[in-house]
Structure 1
Amino acid sequence: MPNFLTIFLLLFLVFPARAEMAAPMRLPVDDHQLVFETAKGKVSLDAEIADTDAERMRGLMNRTDLPENRAMLFVFDQTRMVMMWMKNTPLPLDMLFVTRDGAIATIRENTEPFSEAVISSIVPVSFVIELRAGAAKRLGLAMGDMVRHPSICGQCTAQ
């Protein structure tokens, strides 16, 4: 039978690490906005940039808030098929899968919170943008619309 000190050390060492992993990640708002070029005109949103493996893995997990004027931009190192899921994500989201040149290739609207179902880009992409559910429709976003941001197009500037 374990002694009191062993139990205390186990609780002290193990549970804080689990609590830290469950804490939502909050990335700083980038200096440049995401600019969507839609049939309705240009629409700009603030962006949090997830460009490391750790940031891409955590994304909006455990987040209970995402302002309507904000998005999370996932930047991948190479163009490839991207598979996302909503495990540990309590907010329904719209996901935009974006090609290397900034074109929206696939839109997945109103994804199911906490779902482990795979959400596929269908085609190779370099970026994923997550928005609050309903934002894609509200902003008039469509496949083929262009997205501008220095992370997407190094020669472009978001205006």
Structure 2
Amino acid sequence: MTHRNWLTAGVMCAMIVVAAGAYFYSERPTSADSRAMVLPVDPTPLVVATKNGDRSFSIEIADTDPEREAGLMFRQDMADDHGMLFVFEMQQQVNFWMQNTPMPLDLIFIGQDGKVRAVKHGEPQSQAIISPGVPVRFVLELKSGTAARNGIEYGDLVRHPAVGTISGPGVRPADNGDAPNSGGG
């Protein structure tokens, strides 16, 4: 009788674990789901210091491989003052593309020191590679035209707790982000 109770309890625990896993997995769609991934909005606004003043954005932070892979895929629209910040473990050459992304985007490539290294435009549904040509640690994606409307350009400073400084973790000593790197990302 005791053996049967343990067996029943074990089966019930396994069913609960499987059900909980299915629920949580279904709540975080990936790029394979053909649904937009929506991450929590960070409570601290990201600020870009431009020559015309500070520009503030609410952001979602993609800082894991699955989150960076899904990004803004399948997202149909977002507010003009909203974006997604991609955070990489270390400064490196990165490549983006817009496959499965229906809205045009500005991609703002940011170095370890928080300075904008490049501003590129992404065409919807394109497989063309978008790269800054220099190692970066962060990429901010905004609605197309947002960078130009807000005067965001090379050299502007990005401030947010997720954006470190040149002496912070994740930067190789010889990698200051000023010279092109032929490595992949």
Q: TM-score normalized by structure 2?
A: 0.71
Task: For 1:41 and 1:88, locate their aligned partners in 2 and report how far apart those are by CA, in whole Å.
Answer: 34
Report the equivalent of 2:145.
134
Is 1:107 paired with 2:145?
no
CA drift of 1:18 comes to 9.5
Contact 2:58 2:82 in 1 (8 A): yes
Sequence identity, in percent?
A: 46
In the alignment, which residue of structure 1 is the partner of 2:128?
Answer: 117
Between the two structures, name the one with larger relative contact order (CA 8 Å, sep ≥ 6). 1
Q: Report the Cα distance in structure 2 between the residues aligned to 1:18 and 1:50, rounded to whole angstroms.
A: 12
Compared with structure 1, are the counterparts of its residues 36 and 123 closer, same or farther at alpha carbon in structure 2 (3 Å cutoff)?
same
1:43-122 equivalence runs, <5 A: 43-109=55-121, 111-122=122-133
More strand by share: 1
Unaligned runs of 5+ in 2: 1-25, 166-185
Give the deviation of 1:124 after TM superposition: 0.2
The verdict on how the C-alpha distance between 1:133 and 1:153 changes in structure 2, with shifts beyond 3 A counting, is same
Q: Which residue of 1 aligns with 2:50?
A: 38
Normalising by structure 1, report the TM-score. Answer: 0.83
**Structure-2 change in CA distance of 1:29 and 1:18 (3 Å):** closer
Instruction: Report which of the two structures shows the higher radius of gyration computed on alpha carbons.
Output: 2
1:18 to 1:68, Cα distance in 2 relative to 1, 3 A: closer
SS in 1 for 2:153: coil
Q: Which structure 1 segments of 5+ residues have no match?
A: 1-15, 155-159
Query: Is the Cα contact below 8 Å between 2:63 and 2:86 reproduced in 1?
Result: yes
Measured after TM superposition, the shift of residue 153 of structure 1 is 2.6
Contact 2:98 2:126 in 1 (8 A): yes
Structure 1 equivalent of residue 159 of structure 2: 148
Cα deviations across residues 19-77 of structure 1 (Å, max 9, x unaligned)? 97111100111011110000001111101000000000000000001110101000001
2:180 maps to: none
Contact 2:30 2:70 in 1 (8 A): no
